[in-house]
Chain A
Amino acid sequence: GDSVTQMEGPVTLSEEAFLTINCTYTATGYPSLFWYVQYPGEGLQLLLKATKADDKGSNKGFEATYRKETTSFHLEKGSVQVSDSAVYFCALSEKGAQKLVFGQGTRLTINP
């Protein structure tokens, strides 16, 4: 079945550091890929998405590129802020599958 694997956390960085959170996936078809973010005590919010190979999703300074050849969708940000501290989830959705498959989440803490 479909699955998503994220780098294990927690990840702790200093403010203005470069961020990468790795995400790889296994899917039978050509899924859409997503990053969701969960701030403390809240539900999840869609951060960015990509629907086909080589697409780049971007939002709030975060970027991720859909790499079909490596089945990856790594999340990057050039300069993180304390306010980026949250749990980040990579997810996929196969067309017609009617549901989202999530990775285990990566907790990110940014220190001032």
Chain B
Amino acid sequence: DGGITQSPKYLFRKEGQNVTLSCEQNLNHDAMYWYRQDPGQGLRLIYYSQIVNDFQKGDIAEGYSVSREKKESFPLTVTSAQKNPTAFYLCASSIDGDNTGELFFGEGSRLTVL
């Protein structure tokens, strides 16, 4: 079945450590996105990529980094510079950047900093 796979589903990290969240899609979508979800705040865009080897900052990119070396993959690194990293992270994709309304989401990764 086609879809988006995020891993790990749950992740614990000590303060000062970087951590990388995986996102893989087999939908042949061009565009991919990372959102952060906090209680009562909805979803906020971290980074997005419309094509391979290109990505743009979203509204809350500070303390995060991404890469888009393959069309299928868009990993997110949460660095030690991110002041409040505990959150639920959602990866999404769309057919192309102009069709952003119809996003397909993964099941999310919950990161907890101890």
Which A residues contact B (CB, under 8 angstroms)?
4, 32, 34, 36, 41-46, 49, 51, 89, 91, 93, 95-100, 102-105
Which B residues touch A96, using CB under 8 A?
A: 98
Report the count of interface residues on B (CB-CB < 8 A): 27
- Complex Cα–Cα for A43 and B106 (A): 5
Those 4 A-B pairs whose CB atoms lie nearest each other, nearest first: A43-B105, A104-B42, A102-B43, A93-B101
Which B residues contact A (CB, under 8 angstroms)?
4, 6, 31, 33, 35, 40-45, 48, 50, 56, 58, 90, 92, 97-98, 100-103, 105-108
- Complex Cα–Cα for A43 and B37 (A): 10
| Shortest beta-carbon distance from A6 to chain B in Å | 8
- Complex Cα–Cα for A44 and B105 (A): 6
Q: Is there an interface contact between A43 and B48, defined as CB atoms closer than 8 Å?
A: no
Q: Is there an interface contact between B107 and A41, defined as CB atoms closer than 8 Å?
A: yes
Q: Is there an interface contact between A32 and B90, defined as CB atoms closer than 8 Å?
A: no
Cross-chain pair count, CB within 8 angstroms: 63
Which B residues touch A99, using CB under 8 A?
A: 33, 45, 48, 58, 100
Which B residues touch A44, using CB under 8 A?
A: 43, 90, 92, 103, 105
Contact with A104, one of B41, B97, B103, B107 (Cβ below 8 angstroms): B41
Which B residues touch A104, using CB under 8 A?
A: 40-42
Which B residues touch A91, using CB under 8 A?
A: 101
Q: Is there an interface contact between B108 and A43, defined as CB atoms closer than 8 Å?
A: yes
Contact sample, A vs B, 20 pairs, CB 8 Å cutoff: A32-B101, A42-B107, A42-B108, A43-B4, A43-B90, A43-B92, A43-B105, A43-B107, A44-B105, A89-B42, A95-B98, A96-B98, A98-B97, A98-B98, A99-B48, A99-B58, A100-B103, A102-B44, A104-B42, A105-B42
Q: Is there an interface contact between B50 and A98, defined as CB atoms closer than 8 Å?
A: yes
Q: Is there an interface contact between A97 and B103, defined as CB atoms closer than 8 Å?
A: no
Which A residues touch B105, using CB under 8 A?
A: 43-45
- Complex Cα–Cα for A93 and B31 (A): 15
